[in-house]
Amino acid sequence: MKHRIVALSVCLAVAVAFGMTGTLAGQENQPPKYQEISLTGCLVQGTGPSVFILANAKADPLDTSQKGRSYLLASSSMSISFREHLNNEVKVDGTADMNMPPEAPAGQPVKESDLPKLKATKITHVATTCSQPLS
């Protein structure tokens, strides 16, 4: 009887260990929801006076194989002014939502409300014009 209890306990411990490993392994494969990032793109006006978008944003603006994405910008402090950089190429450091927006219907842009968010901690002027066409 004692051997059965010990054997059952060992089996239970092994099953729990394998269950935890599977859970941890599944979590490792998931990309982080938010990530510290630096992106360069064109700062454009959104649909409202206080809505700003970083369009055609890339981690490496010289990499022609990288597809530009658009992000809905938010400021992490009052000292960051997006308005003074409108229609300029800028580099934005901050925390980005790494979730991909849903696909827009063919020929239509992704809705602003569906764009991933980028909470800016720093903005640096790169050029007075946007070097890449808006995507």
- The whole-number pLDDT of residue 98 equals 81
The tens digit of pLDDT for each residue in 35-76 reads 899 999 999 999 998 899 999 999 998 898 988 889 999 988
Which is higher by pLDDT, 20 or 77? 77
**Which pTM value belongs to this model?**
0.71
Which is higher by pLDDT, 37 or 27? 37
Q: Domain locations in the chain?
A: 1-30, 34-127
**Residue 29 confidence (pLDDT) above 80:** no
CA distance 40 to 21: 39
The tens digit of pLDDT for each residue in 84-133 reads 999 999 999 999 988 777 777 778 878 888 999 999 999 999 999 987 65
Specify the fold of 34-127.
Answer: OB fold (Dihydrolipoamide Acetyltransferase, E2P) (2.40.50)
The tens digit of pLDDT for each residue in 2-22 reads 544 444 444 444 444 444 444
Total residues found in the chain within this entry: 135
Q: What is the chain written as a DSSP string?
A: -HHHHHHHHHHHHHHHHHHHHHHHHHHHTSPPSEEEEEEEEEEEE-SSTT-EEEEEEESSTT-TTSPPEEEEEEESSTT--SGGGTTSEEEEEEEEE-PPPPPPPTTSPPPGGGSPEEEEEEEEEEESS-SS---
58 contacts 66 by C-beta, under 8 angstroms? yes
